[in-house]
A and B are shown apart, each in its own frame.
Chain A
Amino acid sequence: MTPEIGHFALILAFALAMAQSVALFAGARGDDAGFAVFGRRSAIVVFALVAIAFASLMHAFAVSDFSVVNVYENSHSAKPFIYKLTGTWGNHEGSMLLWVLILTLFSAVLAAQGKAAPRDLHLLTLGVQALIISAFLAFILFTSNPFERLIPAPADGTGLNPLLQDPGLAIHPPFLYLGYVGFSIPFSFAVAALIRGKADTVWARLVRPWALIAWVFLTIGIALGSWWAYYELGWGGWWAWDPVENASFMPWLAGTALIHSVRVVERRDAMKGWAVLLAITAFSLSLVGTFLVRSGVLTSVHAFAVDPTRGVFILAILIAAIGGSLTVFALRANSLSATGAFSAVSREGALVVNNVLLLVACAVVFVGTFYPLFIDVLSGDKISVGAPYFNMIFAPIASITLALAAVGTLLAWKKGDLPASLKRLIPAAGAALVIAVLVLFLADRARVSGAFALALVVWLVGGAAIDIAGRVKLFRAPAGDSFTRVKGLPGAAWGAAIAHGGLALFALGAAGISLWKSETVVLMAEGSTAEVAGYEVTLKSVEPFSGPNYVAERADFVARKNGETIALSGERRFYPVRGMETTEAAIRMQWPGDLYISFGENKSGNGWPVRLFFNPFVHFLWLGAAVTALGGLIAFADRGKKPAKLRHRQPKAVAAEAAPA
């Protein structure tokens, strides 16, 4: 019975969302209070209905109701309970339902808190959201119904892909979707701004927190996925430039550009066309990612089961949403005139450069990801684009972007003083030079690239520190005065400095593992010893054992270096329901780098193939991502000093204001 309740709730939500979009567009045109009230309240009701549908699907998974096709195909009675629950979104239909659940949640929050927004902007934005919700509910109902029945019910299910039976992967998709879907709100705000022909500081003030929170979630989601790939897949890497990884990374790059340019609109009432276009781009790339994963146009390790009708349906949504919004952009962007002028050397100018670089980086990833598709369509040849392309082109662009970030934050709004800003950076440059020389002399390999990479890290951290020190007048004012300034510093400034510092840490991790990783592959029997990065690693024993829904081999290793002894153990699991194997690599997390061991099957009887890695600085990848997300969160918490309505009534005064943040 509960699956039918869920199905029915979903149908109701679909009908209501369509009515809601009409009411909201009608309400935005006139003064009819009834339309507006209906539209706003519907947003909350639609969310409640989708929540009911999601809960009923989760219930079906929890009680292992195999009369539901989706549960039969993706669950099994012997699976641990927590993975029964998280299995709700471990498949195409359920994950789409989670996608829409988050979409309706954001709409409901927007509907509830919209008092600060101008009436027509608020209604139009909710109206665009309602259109997106309707489209995706139609997609679920017509092509991916998670509540389809299977009568008579089979005795047991076929199981969840064991790779997904992992805490990292249980929480990775929800965060990713919170990010993807979060960008729908800036998108809707952008379309609404184009329709009403006005994007101003009030608009930016409303968009910025949504863009920031979506970006924070996406940052965490991508980092979790990378962390999972590192410890679960047993290949010793953290990022493979797989199409689906790129699909999450492209909206992140566009979103990063968005959170920077929307700040310019908020502070200076300039770069509106850019900000609007970026808001459209960030969500469009989220949609393209969805298309990529679920249509089967590219091969990927992440792809869901391929069904051509789904691909066609998502493409139709893509054309309506992206084509529609860009058409409105082409027709109306001219009306978004800027009032705040700025010179080339200024914070705004630096942010323009930042935006251009980020978009170029995004285009590089886009071209690399879709190149196999373009070539297949044009010539019929099958090719794949590997990591070397991305590393070779993306790394320099990213390095330049990061290097300039340190300069940009020191420039004043409107008109900056470049020589003075560069002068302030001399300590950072000096420190960077010292570290570069140290690397040149001390590193055993990758000296030049390593020197560049670590100098960049130090430069970026130094720049962020100098920025904060300058704002609080450290050492130039009495200590008490500086402390007052620390407390008074806006969250946006702290957020930027912390996020940039986080990126520096991330770059340190990326440089460490890609430049100084040690790797050995050997065949080991029990008792034999191998060597990696100065560690003497002995395979002590390999013992079979059985887990809740798998059988496994556990290998115990002992690593010795300089008299220190480390014990590690890894597993190779076999899940009989799916006939699949997974590895749990033996990882010792430690300074200055991880010892990482994965092992294969003893096919020959002579021993186990063992891959030993030493990954220097690798933790900084995820630590850096976490710090970066924290910076975004701090900036998110900063809503500025004046209430939005006041600013709205005094646009002239806002445009004239040019104090540095």
Chain B
Amino acid sequence: MRRIVFIFPILVFVVVGAFFAYGLTRDPSNIPSQLIDRPLPEFDLPAIQGLQDGLSTEDIKGEVALVNVFASWCVSCHIEHPVLMELTKANAVPIYGLNWKDAPGDGKAWLDRYGNPYKAVGDDQKGRVAIDLGVTGAPETFVVDRQGRVRFKVVGPITEQYWTDTLQPLIEELRRS
């Protein structure tokens, strides 16, 4: 009987250790969006200063698209921007931009300098739409399906590898269904 008691601590540790080992393979900062499989929240944003068209929910319906939250003050957006340019050049997927909390003129200056990969850009200067979308930081990207539902959310910059490994297969699957 005593023996069994002495084995108990190691059994507890084996269970805890297994959780630790499995926990290492997961990323705690990767928080899933509450919007998954829900329609994109309704919004109708004005154009950013210097551009003609704004962005509303209606524009995004009809085909699989990306909605990308960006800002000129965002360092990681510098890393992501060339990838978005490549995607647009290759006609891979329509990308819509949400210019988040930028001072008037800064968004346009950014696009003039680095190129404009977006079909349309909405100006979310006050960050109201970003709150509806549950944006925690820039850049963030939402994958929207033909019915206008959010199907996936990317936190942080999209890299070339992330595109080929994750986003491209996902978009092709959404187009087929």
Q: How far is the CB of B19 from chain A (nearest CB, A)?
A: 6
Query: How far is A121 from B16 in the complex, measured between Cα atoms in Å?
Result: 30
Encode B2-36 as 1/0 by CB contact (under 8 A) with A: 11001101100110110111111011111110000
Query: How far is A315 from B17 in the complex, measured between Cα atoms in Å?
Result: 8
Q: Which chain A residues lie closer than 8 Å to B19 at the CB level?
A: 370, 373-374, 377
Cβ of A382 and Cβ of B17 under 8 Å apart?
no
Query: How far is A581 from B74 in the complex, measured between Cα atoms in Å?
Result: 17
Q: Which chain A residues lie closer than 8 Å to B10 at the CB level?
A: 323, 326-327, 329-330
Cβ of A323 and Cβ of B17 under 8 Å apart?
yes
Query: How far is A327 from B10 in the complex, measured between Cα atoms in Å?
Result: 6
Q: How far is the CB of B97 from chain A (nearest CB, A)?
A: 24
Q: Please tell me if A450 contacts chain B, counting CB pairs below 8 Å.
A: no
Cβ of A377 and Cβ of B9 under 8 Å apart?
no
Encode A364-393 as 1/0 by CB contact (under 8 A) with B: 000000101110110000100000000000
Q: Which chain A residues lie closer than 8 Å to B13 at the CB level?
A: 284, 322-323, 326
Given contacts A315-B20, A315-B24, A323-B17, contact A273 B31 (CB under 8 A): no
Interface size class of A (residues with CB under 8 A): 20 to 34
Q: Please tell me if A277 contacts chain B, counting CB pairs below 8 Å.
A: yes
Q: Which chain B residues lie closer than 8 Å to A315 at the CB level?
A: 17, 20-21, 24
Query: How far is A326 from B30 in the complex, measured between Cα atoms in Å?
Result: 34
Query: How far is A493 from B9 in the complex, measured between Cα atoms in Å?
Result: 32
Among the listed B20, B22, B27, B32, which residue makes an inter-chain contact with A318, where contact means beta carbons less than 8 Å apart?
B20
Query: How far is A559 from B21 in the complex, measured between Cα atoms in Å?
Result: 54
Cβ of B20 and Cβ of A299 under 8 Å apart?
no
Interface stretch, picked from A36-44, A146-154, A290-298, A429-437, is: A290-298
Encode A264-296 as 1/0 by CB contact (under 8 A) with B: 000000000100010011001000000100011
Q: Which chain B residues lie closer than 8 Å to A327 at the CB level?
A: 10
Query: How far is A382 from B155 in the complex, measured between Cα atoms in Å?
Result: 15
Q: Which chain B residues lie closer than 8 Å to A333 at the CB level?
A: 6
Q: Which chain A residues lie closer than 8 Å to B22 at the CB level?
A: 377
Q: Please tell me if A118 contacts chain B, counting CB pairs below 8 Å.
A: no
Q: How far is the CB of A145 from chain B (nearest CB, A)?
A: 21
Query: How far is A215 from B22 in the complex, measured between Cα atoms in Å?
Result: 32
| Chain A residue at minimal CB-CB distance from B16 | A370
Cβ of B23 and Cβ of A297 under 8 Å apart?
yes
| Residue of A273, A334, A376 most packed against chain B (CB within 10 A) | A376
Query: How far is A311 from B22 in the complex, measured between Cα atoms in Å?
Result: 11
Q: Please tell me if A109 contacts chain B, counting CB pairs below 8 Å.
A: no
Q: How far is the CB of B176 from chain A (nearest CB, A)?
A: 25
Among the listed A277, A284, A308, which residue makes an inter-chain contact with B24, where contact means beta carbons less than 8 Å apart?
A308
Cβ of A297 and Cβ of B28 under 8 Å apart?
yes
Q: Please tell me if A489 contacts chain B, counting CB pairs below 8 Å.
A: no
| Interface of B: prevailing SS | helix
Encode A145-171 as 1/0 by CB contact (under 8 A) with B: 000000000000000000000000000
Among the listed A273, A284, A376, A382, which residue makes an inter-chain contact with B23, where contact means beta carbons less than 8 Å apart?
A376
Given contacts A377-B26, A382-B31, contact A318 B17 (CB under 8 A): yes
Q: Which chain A residues lie closer than 8 Å to B14 at the CB level?
A: 323
Query: How far is A333 from B3 in the complex, measured between Cα atoms in Å?
Result: 8
Q: Which chain B residues lie closer than 8 Å to A112 at the CB level?
A: none
Q: How far is the CB of B18 from chain A (nearest CB, A)?
A: 9
Q: Please tell me if A637 contacts chain B, counting CB pairs below 8 Å.
A: no
Among the listed B3, B6, B21, B28, which residue makes an inter-chain contact with A376, where contact means beta carbons less than 8 Å apart?
B28
Query: How far is A334 from B16 in the complex, measured between Cα atoms in Å?
Result: 24
Q: Please tell me if A567 contacts chain B, counting CB pairs below 8 Å.
A: no
Q: Which chain B residues lie closer than 8 Å to A356 at the CB level?
A: none
Q: How far is the CB of A131 from chain B (nearest CB, A)?
A: 18
Q: Which chain B residues lie closer than 8 Å to A522 at the CB level?
A: none
Query: How far is A333 from B32 in the complex, measured between Cα atoms in Å?
Result: 46
Query: How far is A284 from B162 in the complex, measured between Cα atoms in Å?
Result: 38
Q: How far is the CB of A427 from chain B (nearest CB, A)?
A: 41
Given contacts A273-B6, A326-B9, A377-B22, contact A319 B17 (CB under 8 A): yes
Q: Which chain A residues lie closer than 8 Å to B2 at the CB level?
A: 334
| Residue of B7, B19, B23, B26 most packed against chain A (CB within 10 A) | B23
Q: Which chain A residues lie closer than 8 Å to B20 at the CB level?
A: 291, 297, 315, 318, 373
Q: How far is the CB of A333 from chain B (nearest CB, A)?
A: 4
| Chain B residue at minimal CB-CB distance from A323 | B13
| Residue of B13, B17, B30 most packed against chain A (CB within 10 A) | B13
Query: How far is A373 from B16 in the complex, measured between Cα atoms in Å?
Result: 10
Among the listed B9, B23, B24, B30, which residue makes an inter-chain contact with A330, where contact means beta carbons less than 8 Å apart?
B9
Q: How far is the CB of A446 from chain B (nearest CB, A)?
A: 35
| Chain B residue at minimal CB-CB distance from A277 | B9
Q: Which chain B residues lie closer than 8 Å to A311 at the CB level?
A: 24
Query: How far is A434 from B128 in the complex, measured between Cα atoms in Å?
Result: 55
Q: Which chain A residues lie closer than 8 Å to B21 at the CB level?
A: 315
Given contacts A327-B10, A334-B3, A334-B6, contact A297 B24 (CB under 8 A): yes
Among the listed A273, A281, A323, A372, which residue makes an inter-chain contact with B28, where contact means beta carbons less than 8 Å apart?
A372
Q: Please tell me if A305 contacts chain B, counting CB pairs below 8 Å.
A: no
Q: Which chain B residues lie closer than 8 Å to A322 at the CB level?
A: 13, 17
Q: How far is the CB of A561 from chain B (nearest CB, A)?
A: 40
Cβ of A330 and Cβ of B17 under 8 Å apart?
no
Q: Which chain B residues lie closer than 8 Å to A323 at the CB level?
A: 10, 13-14, 17
Query: How far is A501 from B5 in the complex, measured between Cα atoms in Å?
Result: 36
Cβ of A382 and Cβ of B9 under 8 Å apart?
no
Query: How far is A330 from B10 in the complex, measured between Cα atoms in Å?
Result: 7
Q: Which chain B residues lie closer than 8 Å to A296 at the CB level?
A: 27-28
Query: How far is A333 from B8 in the complex, measured between Cα atoms in Å?
Result: 12
Cβ of B23 and Cβ of A377 under 8 Å apart?
yes
Cβ of A299 and Cβ of B3 under 8 Å apart?
no
Query: How far is A606 from B112 in the complex, measured between Cα atoms in Å?
Result: 34
Encode A89-121 as 1/0 by CB contact (under 8 A) with B: 000000000000000000000000000000000
Cβ of B29 and Cβ of A299 under 8 Å apart?
yes
Query: How far is A396 from B26 in the complex, measured between Cα atoms in Å?
Result: 34
Cβ of A295 and Cβ of B26 under 8 Å apart?
no
Cβ of B17 and Cβ of A376 under 8 Å apart?
no
Query: How far is A308 from B16 in the complex, measured between Cα atoms in Å?
Result: 19
Q: How far is the CB of B138 from chain A (nearest CB, A)?
A: 15
| Residue of A295, A297, A329 most packed against chain B (CB within 10 A) | A297
Q: Which chain A residues lie closer than 8 Å to B30 at the CB level?
A: 382
Query: How far is A497 from B22 in the complex, measured between Cα atoms in Å?
Result: 45
Encode B118-140 as 1/0 by CB contact (under 8 A) with A: 00000000000000000000000
Cβ of A330 and Cβ of B6 under 8 Å apart?
yes
| Chain A residue at minimal CB-CB distance from B30 | A382
Query: How far is A329 from B22 in the complex, measured between Cα atoms in Å?
Result: 26
Cβ of B32 and Cβ of A382 under 8 Å apart?
yes
Q: Please tell me if A566 contacts chain B, counting CB pairs below 8 Å.
A: no
**Given A315-B20, A329-B6, 5 other A-B residues pairs in contact with their CB atoms under 8 A:** A297-B24, A299-B28, A315-B21, A330-B3, A382-B31
9 contacts between A and B (CB under 8 A): A299-B28, A311-B24, A315-B21, A319-B17, A323-B14, A326-B9, A329-B9, A373-B19, A373-B23
The 3 closest A-B pairs by CB, nearest first: A326-B10, A297-B23, A333-B6
